[in-house]
Chains A and B, each alone.
Chain A
Amino acid sequence: MNDDLVKLTIDGIEVDVPKGTLVVDAAKKIHVDIPVFCYHPKLEPVGMCRMCLVEIGLPMRDRGTGELLLDDDGSPKLNFGRGLQTGCTVRVSEGMVVRTTTEPVKEVREDVISFLLSSHPLDCPICDKGGECPLQNLTMEYGPGVSQMDYSLKMHNEKQVPLGDLIYLDRERCIQCARCIRFQEEIVDDPVIQFHNRGRALEIVTMSEPGFDSYWSGNTTDICPVGALTSSDFRFGARPWELTPVPSLSPHSPAGANIVMSTRREAKSGGRSVIKRIVPRQNEWVNEIWISDRDRFVHHFADAPDRLQKPLIRKNGELTEVSWDEALDLVAEKLQAHSTAVAGLSGDRLSNEDLYAFQHLFRRGLGSNNLDLANRRLAGGDVTAQVGLASGSNLQDLGAGDAILVVASDLHEEEPIWWLRVKQASERGATLVVLNLRPTRLDKYADYVFRYAPGEAIVTVRQLVNAAKVETDTAVDQLTAAADTLIKANNLVAFYGYEGLTYTETDTLAKLLANLLLLKNEDKAHAGQINSGLIPVWPHNNSQGAWDMGIHPALAAGYQPVEASGMDAATIYEAVHNGGLKALYVMGADPVGDGRMPNRGQLDFLVVQELFLTETAKLADVVLPAQSWAEREGTFTSGERRVQRYYQAISPLGECRPDWQIAAQIGERLDMGKPAFAASLLFRDLAKVVPQYKGMDYRSLAKVAEQWPLVGGDDVYYGGTSYKNEAGLGQQWAAAAETDEVGLFEVADGDTAVTTNLPLVRIAALYTPGTLINHTPMLADRLAAPTLHLYADDAQIIGLQDGGETVIQVNGRSLSVQVCVNGHAPAGLALLSGVPWFPGMAEFEIL
């Protein structure tokens, strides 16, 4: 018998569950529903609502001998205590007997429901939660059926209380279960809402400015068991039963957050189905049942009225609507004509299918390796292919004895989901080591924080890795101590980002960390082991896929080296400028808007494939309207190298086509054969070419497994409006180190020299203004305004004051910024947030 298992009987059914399991969870596992309101399997139990009261009997023992006392029939005598007990707070014990269907239990459920309804407004007909409401469902199941509360005695309360711009509170509907408060406190450590007052006057208030200031606020609307919390995105937008839930992926999340898009056909959208809301989809390997507010609210761009809907060709200087055939013919002709001087730049938000088709067009159709990401920030995809987080890993499994290293990244602003997973691992006991230029929200949970000076990132990481190479018993300093913990950890996960680094530096960084993972401790390296490996903090949802698909001048799909490298992005911009390139095809990127490419230089032909008429598109000869991710299916690959599927949610807009199809239709005109009929078939093709994807297809990506907690049942009480995953958990592709011996990487020397006293580094903000987020009106007030953060002494020297405004010149552009002197910036370093990214450290001038 397993010592960690406990045997108990619930309603006559014997069940073995792990020690420490709560009675409600034990029951849930055998599909005995003990109704709950306040309990949530992701939160600490509090026993407040009293809905889960059940009879719990314990075997009686002789006080002297400790022997079990037996009844006449030989069964153990049971002590059921003095009354009912809350199944959500009592943990199982050997021989326990739980009864959930007896009269007293039925009675108390009826009574708790009566009590809750006695001050509930019962406005289900106009309530957003109606139809997917735990209170409604449990009332139907367990409620008394008649009301005893005289309506005139009812307490009435405020009904539309904004807790900030994103979340509204209906005080009458709140049943004071504290799930929202506990989520904010326990899960995401943003305790910005709390109870105020007491008794029946107990109410939720927000204590932050702006109200409910948290990147996670939307999750409270999912787990609120009534319609008390609603989002300004969805409230009064539709009735739940009119919605079609479509499984999808967040188009912003490099961790690969699983979502469901609730869609509805609407007359006001001309009968098109549109996105009404986004809610989480359970994937315990990725985002559990949570998503950030960026994943939830930044979707309005897909339905935006200013989306491109028809192909455009510049005629007499004006972009003019044309037919697809006309546009595609022209593009094919021009690309072919310039095939010796052609290049392709793509974004990393597009699907694997799109990226594959794009590079295929260039490599097969045009014979060119001049391919890169338009705005590449982070190198090391090739390194990750060797030593990335091993397949089968789940960051949720990291805890005591394990270690996590985070370098040059602000996870909270870049990918809140990774921030959360790392924070939770640290709370479970994993050692967290953080290296960065400046303080971030991760420092609070870190065991070691190392702050390197500008220009010393690589040096510092190298020191750390070198220290790890030396066997020490007594650590001479913090760095050696940290190195020692890292190398001796059972599992080691290393995240690296690009804050303040150049592309080359990130490449060095990736290799240094790879070498750390490859170091052997007692004959075993971390690389290749489950729950260990490298994770690049990619800037976008499918940067990983871009590497995998070969959007790279030297690496074709599947990391196969090409014979002759093409131009990389920097060289392409050079060549645009000096005439070395004649034709450029930009897909899903805006190099002009991002400040990478000042103008179209000496290009003869520029084609841009986009959702919007971006700065780059405005300069194009041909503009091709693409479908957003919501309008078609596809796959993204996360930074943990999990290949995942998303499905078509809404009707395509206008004449928009999927990016992969457009690229393939251009290819068709270059005699590359017919485009695939569907994304799934294209995926099957690419899985044959990309060795890492071997054996994957849309069916295998759609496989699911039972996950805990069980969400999505009729009761909706565990997951709330987080959906059960019925559409696929995805598949992680194996890093080379899992099967092969991987040698140490050769690492180039050092950092780029710092040339100024006060270098400027661009830092991330989750709500950095941009084409996509600007289309979500409710986030308007939360967008990160361009802000220059300075250390007090530095501010004084250059004559700026906290709260002031100024104009600075950086990378040849002038920018008006707010000045902030509040401890974000370390001495000798200026930080700039709320602006498009630029690499490394810049010089700036005050105008």
Chain B
Amino acid sequence: MDHDSAFTGKDISRIDGPPKVEGRAKYAGEHHVPDLLHAAIVPASIARGRVTLIDTAAAMQFPGIVAIITHKNRPWLWPFGFLYKDLAGPPGKPFRPLYDDRVHFSGQPVALVVASTYEAARDGAALVRVSYAPEDHLTDLARSTAFKPRRNRLGVAPAPHPTGDAPRALAQAPIKIEATYTTAAENHHPMELFATTVAWGERSVTVYDKTQSPKSVELFLKVAFRLFRRKVRVVSSFVGGAFGLGLRPQQSVFLAVMAAKALKRSVRLVVPRDHMFALGYRANAIQTVCLGADMDGRLRAIRHKAIAATSQYEDAQDPLVNFSASLYGCDNVELSYELARLDTVSPCDMRAPGAATGMFALECAMDELAYAANIDPLALRFANYTQSDQSEKRPFSSKALRECYLEGAAHFGWERRRSAPRSMRKGKELIGFGMATGAWEAAMAPVPARAKVSLLADGRFEVTSSITDIGTGTYTILSQLAADALGAPMDRIVVRLGDSALPFNPIQGGSWTAATTGSAVEAACKKLKKLILSRARQAGIVGNREGAELLSAAALVDLSHLSGRDDICATATIFNVPFGKKYTGVTHSVVFAEVRIDEDLPVVRVTRLVCAVAAGRILNPKTARSQIIGACVMGIGKALYEDAAVDHNLGRCMAHSLADYHVASNADVYDIDVIFVDETDDKVSPIGVKGLGEIGSVAVAPAIANAIYHATGQRMRDLPITIDRLLQA
């Protein structure tokens, strides 16, 4: 593979930086629409049961209230649940807000108050009185019955089949460890609140929505609200973070469009922060890992069983145990992935869904094995290194994990680590070094993606695609790829994204986007370049010289004037041609963590993280580094702070704000270094990119937990590792 790279591979500041630092970037709840109404949600206060009465009398008298929509007076909805499916939904019956009197989870919208001002809607909602017939609810994962999902979720590989004979190998293994790990539910909490602004028109409806897939939302709305005769356009040109919570059409877009349709008015709904807890969560899980090994640490058997939460109405599934089958060389592997129903909203993919949870258990267990076998944790990884995927019996498309171990360890100073727990300290603080391996599927989107590149009248090029940029740097890397493919400077590339009227792209998720949309953009640019050269030859602007450089800006302006408007353009469609069954595509990482813990009051500080990543071709080291650092910060939160704990008596999340649910703040973050090791992969995607969205998060929590063990001698198997848990250990 040869990559002409004047721009790709270079540290380039993100091109959406200027509008963002100047406050010009418009997010979903900020678009100006005339005659706008404002909506507010009335949430259910029980976790399970029925709504018996909604008293709106007091609220309707509040000044400014226009309408209160409930399941009694809502517009007609299809009675068929399958018509509300979306591109990322799991098997089951999707939740339809205000469909009927059933309450499925605490916080579920049971009424929508629409008013002339934001304040009137908010205060009017507080005056709606709702009566319920509550039923017994269950929100405690440990008390719910586990079951194997009957149908697999599209796009998520089920737990791999067993290989060898794990029970027998475990019984015979000279060293064996077994432990149970629990991980708390987490909420995504992007800084931007979920919001939708609907500009309602007789012929067309424009929906400014916070989503990771404008196209998916457009298709959903057309079917769900029978908007076939109207042109529906979903715009999300800037998305203030999402981390998975925007993969599916959210409650906000459903309710706002429902209200707009009912009232034939433009409507805005901004979800308040306390309601963000009721939109979706990373499934909490209970896992048991059993490892058997030889005296030299070589794995003889891996058994990894997981039970993860799901709702009563859908079977949310993630690749939780999958990487336990392929990360290390081991002949006897037995995996189990079960779900358990809770009276909660459906779990929703959150950054490195499944993997961040499953690898916490596996990588903590590997650390426990290292101590049981009296082997350095890093040496244990080398002892079990595999160059092929043993579960599928095929090679990896590329695997520079060894380089991650070596370069990460050297950079971190792993050799300074003394093996014994509690053996390193400075003053009153215990110091611990820990490490863990990370893996995430490197893949392209499972459905085709398109991109269009056009020559504009002023000689610039416009790249368009419906895909979003949720802070990932998509605008920037697409611009770099186009500049290189066209042989033009970056200031002559305009990128427009996040609009369902633009060429089809599925969903910004799964770490697919750079590989998928990037490949489509590159292919479209190559087509356009050929087209321009042939047109230029016809017009006599350039000779027939082979390999002629692309025309100058001035010549391109002439050319565009000779042709019709929007005439010189090219569209490319990338089909995911999986490399079939020949290779396994995986992105790898290693995290080394240093923690410092006060000996008396065990406050944990994560003073250093080194994350070494093997992710194929890196298009922009600057934005890529930021993505990995950000994922590490989220991993610190997972390890130490984030807990969407439920009061099982009320069946309700106890946290209602960012004061109750702590996400890592600036003072919680010390040094984080990122290393991208050299890795060339000509199979994983046409442009050699593996994707970076998830991988940074995977190994952080286990590396921190292992460092805490090294510092304190306390093996912490339940996340988050809070001060009270350390005191009780």
Query: Do the two shown chains form a genuine complex with each other?
Result: no
